[in-house]
């Protein structure tokens, strides 16, 4: 359900098939996703979660400006991107 008063977006899963990783698809798709979220106009923060041992994901999200916040109750790393800085 859409709630215009909610200023946070959560990316629950962001995956690129292993056979297609390392080709720039993840970076391009993440950029497009963040552009779409930014175009909503009211989102101030985007959170994403990933397995802590997934170094490719860590590198991708860090490169986009996400900052790790710590491990959640499910054992996944939570990283946050402030949209006001974009």
Confidence of residue 6 (pLDDT cuts 50, 70, 90): confident
Q: Is the per-residue pLDDT at 85 higher than 70?
A: no
Q: Is the per-residue pLDDT at 44 higher than 70?
A: yes
Q: Is the per-residue pLDDT at 60 higher than 50?
A: yes
Q: Which long-range contacts (CB under 8 A, 24 or more apart) does 33-40 make?
A: 34/64, 34/81, 34/83, 34/86, 37/9, 37/83, 38/83, 38/86, 40/9
69 φ, ψ to 5°? Answer: -110, -20
Percent share of the chain, pLDDT over 90:
72
Name the residue among 49, 42, 46 with its Cα closest to residue 65: 46
The pLDDT mean for the chain works out to 89
Q: Is the per-residue pLDDT at 11 higher than 70?
A: yes
């Amino acid at each position: 359900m859409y709630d215009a008063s909610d200023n946070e977006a959560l990316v629950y899963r962001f995956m690129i098939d292993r056979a297609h990783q390392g080709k720039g698809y993840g970076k391009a798709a993440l950029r497009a996703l963040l552009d779409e979220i930014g175009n909503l106009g009211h989102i101030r923060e985007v959170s994403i979660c990933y397995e802590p041992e997934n170094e490719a994901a860590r590198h991708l999200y860090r490169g986009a400006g996400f900052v790790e916040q710590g491990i959640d109750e499910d054992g996944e790393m939570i990283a946050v991107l402030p949209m006001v800085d974009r």
